Amino acid sequence: MTTLVIKPRRGRPPKVARENYDTRAELIRSGVEHLTEFGFSSSGIEPILKKVGVPKGSFYHYFASKEAFGETVIAHYDGYFSGKLDMHLLNTDYSPLTRLQKFVDDAVQGMTRHDFKRGCLVGNLSQEVDALPSGFRTLLTAIFVSWQQRVRTCLIEAQACGEVAHNADCTQVAEFFWIGWEGAVSRAKLVENAEPLRLFIQYFLQTLPK
């Protein structure tokens, strides 16, 4: 008796699986946009679902809870933003401090493009951390540490080429950069213009130990 062996079909994945993936990705993208503008604790998921065209009852097919959704959105934003930092801070076509300036210039363009309605998702959520799920504090702190490490590496390169004094504490300076930068981003949203961002980077660079 001959046994019929059915080989797996090659080619595109099943349509349903692909649609599920695309819908989940769209929910994450919509979540980044919405939470960056309106925050997490006061936001329901309805506006996000409506924008993507997903019924509320279907949300839990993609995410176990609103908290799990928030964690996924934060991780997605971190990946995007870390990539942007690396694009500028690892660009050896420019001196290290010029790379920092290029990062700020890019951020100015981004905030201007969105009419200063959006800022930094991680910074925004940090301001409402007491109202967030407890695990978010650890997650947000770890992200800031990662971003600070990138700036620290850039500052160490600046030391090596004489742009920053050799006795400067690059760890502390990098932390100071992010404390000041997040404040500048919040002020730019408040006044709806880029002047706080430009003012911050101007004085940050001027006050670096030479």
Span 120-136, pLDDT tens digits: 999 999 999 999 998 99
Q: How far out from the chain centre does Cα 175 lie?
A: 17
Question: Which residue do the tokens 């951390």 mark?
Answer: 129
Predicted TM-score (pTM) of the model is 0.85
pLDDT for residue 8 is more than 50: no
Half-sphere exposure of 62 (CA within 13 A, CB side): 26
Look up residue 9 and give its two tokens.
């079909």
Span 139-180, pLDDT tens digits: 999 999 999 999 999 999 999 999 999 999 999 999 999 999
**At what angle are helices 135-160 and 96-113 packed, to 10 degrees?**
140
Span 41-91, pLDDT tens digits: 777 888 899 889 988 888 888 999 999 999 999 999 999 999 999 999 999
Q: Any idea which architecture 67-207 has in CATH?
A: Orthogonal Bundle (1.10)
Closest CA to 101 of 210, 173, 206: 206
Close Cβ partners of 208 (under 8 Å, ≥ 6 residues apart): 97, 158, 163, 164, 165, 168, 173
Look up residue 209 and give its two tokens.
């130990």
Read off the pLDDT of each residue in 91-112 and give the average, rounded to a whole number.
97
pLDDT for residue 5 is more than 60: no
Q: What is the DSSP string of 124-137?
A: HHHHTGGGS-THHH
Euclidean distance between CA atoms 195 and 88, whole angstroms: 21
Domains in the chain: boundaries: 67-207
Look up residue 82 and give its two tokens.
């870390």
Average pLDDT of the residues of the chain: 89
**Which pLDDT score, from 0 to 100, does residue 24 have?**
92
Closest CA to 87 of 110, 121, 112: 110
**Which pLDDT score, from 0 to 100, does residue 40 have?**
87
pLDDT for residue 26 is more than 50: yes
